[in-house]
């Protein structure tokens, strides 16, 4: 199988991750913790595939910062998935922050060095800020909802860029 085919598959995974993440933000029919965790497991798996595809497609142009951002994103996903592995220690906030910061840097480097969408790092940054503010108190549910929707929109755009072709390196 050609690398471009795998990148496009990863792009579809990123789109699905974005749509499912946005759905999870509103999730009208998710009543149990098992259902919610199952949905987030699928989202995280799709995010991982999308991350691999985004990095693979642009690794030549992303440099060390891009490699570090990719590794932060993967480490964050692993922390999120293992958040219940250590009793009494909630790894989810640290993992979610790593995923967000990793994606922000990756998307910024992608935009800066290989003409990716400028909206992706902006959406991701807004998502991170709203997610962090939602942890501080008032209107937490609304801010968390907005954060999830923005993150989902950013992932859909990442996937769209991966599916519909390679960006040219800057001239």
- pLDDT, tens digit (0-9, with 9 covering 90-100), for 87-135: 888 888 889 889 999 999 998 988 887 777 889 999 999 999 998 888 8
Q: For residue 111, what are the contacts with CB-CB under 8 A and spacing of at least 6?
A: 117, 118, 120, 121
3-state class of 138 per DSSP?
Answer: coil
3-state secondary structure 70-118: HHHHHHHHHHHHCCCCCCCCCCHHHHHHHHHHHHHHHHHHHHHHHCCCC
- pLDDT, tens digit (0-9, with 9 covering 90-100), for 5-29: 899 999 999 999 999 999 988 876 6
7, 56 Cβ separation under 8 angstroms: yes
Q: Is the dihedral of CA 32, 35, 40, 43 positive or negative?
A: negative
Distance CA 110, CA 117 (A): 8
Domain boundaries of the chain, sorted by first residue:
3-163
The pLDDT value recorded for residue 28 is 67
- pLDDT, tens digit (0-9, with 9 covering 90-100), for 60-98: 888 888 899 999 999 999 999 887 777 888 888 889 889
The pLDDT value recorded for residue 51 is 94
152, 25 Cβ separation under 8 angstroms: yes
pLDDT band at 170 (very low <50, low <70, confident <90, very high): very low
């Amino acid at each position: 199988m050609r690398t471009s085919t795998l990148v496009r598959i990863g792009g579809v995974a990123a789109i699905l991750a974005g749509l499912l993440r946005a759905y999870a933000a509103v999730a009208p029919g998710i009543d149990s913790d098992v259902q919610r965790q199952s949905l987030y497991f699928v989202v995280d798996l799709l995010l991982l595939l999308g991350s691999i595809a985004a990095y693979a497609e642009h690794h030549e142009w992303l440099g060390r910062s891009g490699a570090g951002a990719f590794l932060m994103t993967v480490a964050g996903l692993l922390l999120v998935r293992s958040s219940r592995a250590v009793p009494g220690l909630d790894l989810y906030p640290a993992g979610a922050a790593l995923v967000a910061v990793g994606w922000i840097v990756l998307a910024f480097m992608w935009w800066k060095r290989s003409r990716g969408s400028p909206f992706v790092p902006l959406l991701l940054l807004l998502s991170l800020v709203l997610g962090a503010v939602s942890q501080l108190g008032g209107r937490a549910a609304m801010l968390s909802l907005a954060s999830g929707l923005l993150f989902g929109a950013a992932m859909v755009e990442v996937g769209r860029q991966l599916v519909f072709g390679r960006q040219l390196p800057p001239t």
